[in-house]
Amino acid sequence: MARLLYRIGSTAYRRWPFFIAGWLLLAVIVGSLAAAFSKPMSDEFTIPGIPSEKAADIQKELFPQSGDAFDDATVTIVVAAPKGHTLDEPAYQSAIDGLIKAVPSLPQAGDENPGLVPPAPAPEGAPAAFSTLSEDGTVGTLSFEWDVDSPADLKVATVEDLEKLLDKTTDETGLVAEANGPGMAVMTPPGGTAELFGLLIALVVLVLTFGSLIAAGMPLINAIFGVGLGMTGITAMTALMNIGSSTPMLATMIGLAVGIDYTLFILARYRTELHHTKDRAHAAGIAVGTAGSAVVFAGLTVLIALSALAVVRIPFLTAMGLAAAATVFIAVLVALTLLPALLGLTKSWAFRGQVRKYNPKRDEHGRIHNNGVRWAKLIARAPVAWVLGVVILLGALAAPISQMYLAFPTDSTAAPDTTQRKASDLITDAFGPGREGPLLLVVDGRKIADDAQRQKAFDDVTAWAAGQDDVKSADLVITNAPTGDDGQPTGTGTGAMIQVTPSSGPDEPETLDLLDALRDGQSGIERSTGTVVGVTGLTAITTDVSDRLNGALPIYLAVVIGLAFILLVLVFRSILVPLTATLGFLLSVLATLGATVAIFQEGALGLFEGQPIVSFMPIFLIGVVFGLAMDYQVFLVTRMREAHVHGLPMHEAVVDGFRNSARVVTAAASIMIAVFSGFILEDDAVVKSMGFALAASIIFDAFIVRMILIPAVLYLLGDKAWWLPAWLDRILPNVDVEGESLERDSAPVHVETERELAGV
């Protein structure tokens, strides 16, 4: 492989006009296809096979007019009278009438007015809007639905206009007016500010790393070009398949991350090779042949981690994973071909625009003596103590993971200062916490021919549901009975929807126990009534998705770690090095999840109000971080193996690996931490927790596991680290990641001065 990549790198350097023109032509072709044939991205959320999805399918058959729970754009306006007053007072009735008349004038509001009516339960998916009034007359709700296909079609300005209307009502009338519901969930896609923040930090780190504005700009140019091409390709693919609007998010984030990392690694190797040869094309070839080999295998580990999201069998996660994997593939190709072409274009100008002199100290043998060397020698003094310290530290951080509670976010877990949380608190106080998370029973009575028996069956199912533990109420809210010219039902109907209101909130374990109890008794009530019963609704669907994610996690881990382990055995020709890399990753992930639970779920340090961890956090974190962690492992340890292959003993090989790669890995990890930390600045609690978890995982893995644990373990293992059974050594192909086969001395050896490196 090293020879092939050497030829690619040196050819791209010499024939740079053709390579640059080829990439630009490809961008134009893909852009033209996207402009001519792309279709709008969809937001369908379907999880084939989960119980609530099957129940929702029955609901659509019986009630074609009812929508999908995830397409529901209903808003619940909660109005509360001042203390000591009720809503039926004339002054407040007038204010409520004004609010009702103002809502339809909002953008995307539709034509139907909300209404404040006596108590009546509001089933999820029912065709009409139901409103309720508390028993003491102090709190009422107004329900309406935005005129959109799904909440994803809502504009931020629309929700902001509603919030302004509520604030005006509160200020002018003394009423408390808040709103929540699926129709308030619109938000600006996270990452605009975060990505800009990350790119600015990346530029600063790259300038400090290379001391040159031109060199610092190359990784950014390559990463932005690769991500832009990937996003355009995803847009073009909408002509052939449905792609969700959330799909590009992960691809953009990971594409920027690996695009900068891979280019940075090869560019740093290119600068090192310029100290050994005047032939810049040869230096580019060596850089791509050695560092590029590491990039290829690092990229493959990321591709495995992202593509394996398909085993979860959740379509939107599969699409996100495959789209991100495609963007990573492009990033690898860009780093291997476009970077050397840009180096061929800039030639001696590549390291100009200097803001800091690059004049590293050297030892008596002429080798660079930098902070990486000093750190590696510090670890070598007491490797056992360092290993124990890392294991104890990460183990202590991982301890809170035993208390982890996974769920989807709800209005009741929103930030306290949001209108959604305030509305949720008002509803909970007036109607009980279960009102925020009702379960919907869909009853199919098409097998029962007699109307009277069918009605009795519906009543029996309602009574059975009402008799379960933790049920506040169970009400038959609608049937699909045909209506006459007067609008009145002319029969019983073949299907019914029963709303079950728990006594507990949607994110409380008691509600999940109720869902399990309903499903456990489902077959019995079906036999006794002759009906088919299903449980659906938003609470049931999100619970089923969480169960699917939790059940898929062990399989996902086995696939990702298994395939990556085989790949790393091929790269390092060792059993123990891949094993230590994998165990180190598990330590860093467990520590990350434990720290996230402590801060975001348990409210440690008082930084955030405690709430459940979003269900897809663990599998998302593993998929993203595993690939990046293996990047740093490959970047560091391939230089150690390269030094060992060229004759250095293990102790000196570890030091040499840190001499050449520690600075680059530190820069790459710092950039990733900055990018991910930017998401903590977002308003949404879920995005905050994801940003924290990703940033923390890079800190733990890059700086604690890769920079401390791995070198300490390698010192202890010595040359045994490269042990490989003889039979396995014979059958494994030699991919030559270290570039052992390259003619390293085919060009004149020459240590260039700083002025020569700058091209002056």
CB 293 within 8 A of CB 735: yes
Beta bridge partners of 145: 74
CA–CA distance, 274 with 276 (Å, rounded to integer):
5
Whether residue 23 is predicted with pLDDT greater than 90 in this model: the reply is yes
CA–CA distance, 105 with 11 (Å, rounded to integer):
64
- pTM of the entire predicted model: 0.78
Q: What is the pLDDT of residues 545-599, one digit of tens each?
A: 888 888 888 888 888 888 888 888 888 888 998 899 889 988 998 999 999 999 8
Q: What is the pLDDT of residues 635-653, one digit of tens each?
A: 888 888 878 777 788 888 8
Q: What is the pLDDT of residues 249-271, one digit of tens each?
A: 778 878 887 888 889 889 988 88
Instruction: Dump the DSSP string for 726-747.
Output: HHHHHHS----TT-TTS-TTSS
Instruction: Dump the DSSP string for 25-87.
Output: HHHHHHHHHHHHH--PPB-----TT-HHHHHHHHHHHH-TTPPPGGG--EEEEEEEPPTT--T
Mean pLDDT, rounded, for 80-95: 85
Backbone dihedral region of 606: left (phi > 0), alpha (psi from -120 to 50 degrees) or beta?
Answer: left
| Phi, psi (deg, nearest 5) at residue 742 | -75, 145
Q: What is the pLDDT of residues 711-722, one digit of tens each?
A: 999 999 988 888
CB 428 within 8 A of CB 412: yes
Domains of the chain: 1-37+194-352 (1.20.1640.10), 72-184 (3.30.70.1430), 369-408+544-734 (1.20.1640.10)
Q: Name the one residue in this structure whose structure tokens are 């006009």.
A: 17
Mean pLDDT, rounded, for 693-708: 91
For 748, counting Cβ atoms within 10 Å of its Cβ (0-12 exposed, 13-18 middle, 19+ buried), the class is exposed
Whether residue 703 is predicted with pLDDT greater than 50 in this model: the reply is yes
Instruction: Dump the DSSP string for 409-465.
Output: --GGGS-TTSHHHHHHHHHHHHH-GGGGS-EEEEEE-TT---HHHHHHHHHHHHHHH
CA–CA distance, 580 with 361 (Å, rounded to integer):
32
CA–CA distance, 752 with 600 (Å, rounded to integer):
52
Instruction: Reduce the DSSP state of residue 162 to 3 states and report it.
Output: helix
Mean pLDDT, rounded, for 665-692: 80
- Please tell me the predicted confidence (pLDDT) of residue 46: 66
CB 571 within 8 A of CB 636: no
Whether residue 626 is predicted with pLDDT greater than 90 in this model: the reply is no
Which of 581, 671, 577 shows the shortest CA–CA distance to 203? 671
CA–CA distance, 316 with 97 (Å, rounded to integer):
42
- Please tell me the predicted confidence (pLDDT) of residue 196: 72
Q: What is the pLDDT of residues 160-207, one digit of tens each?
A: 888 898 998 888 888 899 988 888 876 555 445 666 777 788 888 888
Whether residue 117 is predicted with pLDDT greater than 60 in this model: the reply is no
More confident residue, 28 or 550: 28
Candidate from 156-165, 509-518, 683-692 with smallest mean pLDDT: 683-692
* Tally of CB atoms within 10 A around 472: 16
Q: Are strands 471-479 and 495-502 parallel, antiparallel or unpaired?
A: antiparallel
Radius of gyration of the chain (CA): 31
Mean pLDDT, rounded, for 476-497: 74
List CB contacts of 430: < 8 A, sequence separation 6 or more. 80, 134, 138, 139
CA–CA distance, 536 with 440 (Å, rounded to integer):
5
How high does pLDDT run on average in the chain? 82
Mean pLDDT, rounded, for 333-361: 84
CA–CA distance, 422 with 119 (Å, rounded to integer):
21
Instruction: Reduce the DSSP state of residue 712 to 3 states and report it.
Output: helix
Q: Which two tokens stand for residue 123?
A: 């089933």
Per the document, the length of the chain is 760
Q: Using alpha carbons, list the distances in angstroms from residue 145 to 75, 138, 499, 756.
A: 6, 24, 19, 69
Q: What is the pLDDT of residues 392-414, one digit of tens each?
A: 999 999 999 988 887 777 777 77
- Please tell me the predicted confidence (pLDDT) of residue 365: 63
Whether residue 128 is predicted with pLDDT greater than 80 in this model: the reply is no
pLDDT tier, 366 (very low <50, low <70, confident <90, very high otherwise) = low
Q: Which two tokens stand for residue 347?
A: 């030639």
Whether residue 119 is predicted with pLDDT greater than 50 in this model: the reply is no
Q: What is the pLDDT of residues 277-300, one digit of tens each?
A: 888 899 898 888 888 888 888 888
The angle formed by the CA atoms of residues 383, 389 and 395, to the nearest 5 degrees, is: 135
Which of 744, 750, 745 shows the shortest CA–CA distance to 3? 744
Whether residue 212 is predicted with pLDDT greater than 80 in this model: the reply is yes
CA–CA distance, 121 with 476 (Å, rounded to integer):
9
Tell me the CB-side half-sphere exposure of residue 529, using CA atoms within 13 A: 25
- Please tell me the predicted confidence (pLDDT) of residue 746: 40
- Please tell me the predicted confidence (pLDDT) of residue 225: 93
CA–CA distance, 720 with 700 (Å, rounded to integer):
26
Whether residue 71 is predicted with pLDDT greater than 60 in this model: the reply is yes
The fraction of the chain above a pLDDT of 70, given in percent, is: 87
CA–CA distance, 38 with 233 (Å, rounded to integer):
10
- Please tell me the predicted confidence (pLDDT) of residue 84: 85
- Please tell me the predicted confidence (pLDDT) of residue 229: 92
Mean pLDDT, rounded, for 354-369: 68
- Please tell me the predicted confidence (pLDDT) of residue 590: 92
* End-to-end alpha carbon distance in the chain: 35
